[in-house]
Chain A
Amino acid sequence: MGATYLLEHIAGCFLFDEHLALVESGPPEGKEKEAFLKTHASAVPLSYPARAIQLRRALAAIASKIPKGGLRAANLARTRHDVKHAVSDDFLIVQAVKSIEDLDKVLNSLAIRLRDWYEFYLPEYSVSQPDHAEFVRGVVETTKEQFLSGKKTDSFGADLGKPHIAAMKQFAERLLGLYAAKQELERYVDSTMKTICPNLRAVAGSTLGAKLLEHAGTLKRLVELPSSTVQILGAEKALFRHLKTGSRPPKYGVLLAHDAVQSAPKGRQGRAARILADKISIAVRIDYFKGQFKGDALLEEARKKIAQ
């Protein structure tokens, strides 16, 4: 008697004879499946790549035999389950960081819009307050009279009626709400980073660490990257320009924002970014494999090395 082959499939268990013709099929799961497997324990399991040739013929043999409805229902259920369980904390952090970046962009253009608008009324204030957030707060909280008191000259802004000023103020209040939303998101990112990647947070800081996650996509992918790549994450444009045209390669991407790189003397910042990227790579690997907290020591090592 020739060998029999067994294929465990999402649509059922399938038993084949030595010519790879389907002889019997069993249920896809449950106790009945176990019983089926037990009765046919002597059958050779069709695995890849060991039994690739047989497996190919078996899959062709069942192509017309599996009912499409059952196959689809089983795969649909499985994929729904897989998608549901694919969500992990790093996905959430990446979305939160992207939201913060979007808020930054939106807030910037809205604040500029408010400035243009408010300058009809009180141009001197807009000029004296270069910080957007502070400017918006001022529009809400101070009046023209308060601002001008103690000033030698009067404003050359137009005298506007109450409804016009109220409209500006209301708009400014909404902007303040967005600034608050941004701060809340930053706190959220910080606390989440603390739980899922404490070492990365300690070495890179929570905002910068989250940005690295964003560029890598997931924590797993960040772990798999060599630290020479971590060093230039965020400088993709310069990197590809380098690869294509042979221009000078980038020395740092988002890591430039780190204070260890910032405080390095000009001309040595690339070196600082490289050393820091080293330690970040180690940190994320500790985080990924749930090792002990070593973040502060890593950062200290990096700083020492940079200072040498």
Chain B
Amino acid sequence: MSKKSLAALALAVLALAGCASGGSGGGSGGSGGSGAPGDTIKIGASLPLTGALASFGPILQAGYQAAVDEVNAAGGLSADGQSHQVELVVLDSASDPNKVTDQSRTLVEQNGAVGLLGSISPALTVPASTVADLEKVPMVSTLTPNQAWKAGNPSGWQYAWNMFFDEQQISDVSFGTADLAQTTKKIAIFANTDEDGIANGALWEDQAPEHGYTIAYRADFPAGTTDFTAQINQAKAAGADILFGVMIPPDAFALWKQMKALAWDPQVAFCQKCNSQAAFQGALGELAEGASVVYLANPSDAAEYAQVTARFQKEYGRTVDATSALASYSAAKVLLDAIATAGSTDADKVNAAIGSTKKEYPIGNVSFTDHVFSADVAGLQWQGDAQVSVFPAGSGGTLQAPVKGLQ
């Protein structure tokens, strides 16, 4: 191989390594209101419509758009003495945190967004929250565990707000659900090295003894890992029959297939983030049967949300996708209601209005403490085509153990 060829090859690989964290580029247009420039209030979101977290992007967009459409159908928002239609501008981050930062800035500085809506997971929501604070523009997010999100700014967020559940709740429900099965009390943690993987993994490891469990094995791996053979064999050798996992969906698909092939069939298998959307069963089919996740509990049954709840439950079935869409709808509603309450698009007034929120939304009775709202959670398990609530006890379903799809 000549030196010239070698140099070209090396250059190409280095360029690709840089691109590998970028994914494919491009943005997609927004949708929503009409009217001459200046008549429309714009809110923006940088969402993963492609890339590793692409299964969440359209759901978030659907929830945000539903809130915008509802407000526009009711005549728009009243601000600064005038009525304004609302436009949602969405850009495709391709699941790349660097793009989220650039696009959030673009939404504020070029598109004129007066408020931002968040993405999924700390990896994508924290960069947007950082821009919100720097640009002093209010932002409301969901689908991002609270502690990992707060850790993104140790001195405290100023303009960013998050509505989801936190890692402590994940830990409590995970152990509580595992208590429902007959196990060896030995857990294997499979956590990727993203913020939520680190946060969840640490909490499970710390709190296992007080719940009477042992962490028999722990695997840490970067997102994009496809070969789990060594880790699965080590988990088996350690005698673990409970899996607590946090990883992106593509990695989980590989892990589940490999667990079945290598004959590791735990009694209970949790997969946070990966199993937080119906695409998990879509990709794995019968393999997904019995997989569990800690997620938002049933949405509010307040009459004003009956229509949107019915719409999303019809569209997404009895799965967490419906709950996710309602959570994102709630986030957008909080932002839009704050603009209406403030009667202005002034960032500080809207921000103060968000902080004063005390209202019921599908995600729950929202009020913020230290910029977060902690929603109720449940342990859910795939049983047939539905994700059934199995914890707390009496929530409607019964835990099936061992994990049927891995038998």
Determine if chain A interacts with chain B. Answer: no
Chain B residues close to A by CB (< 8 Å) = none
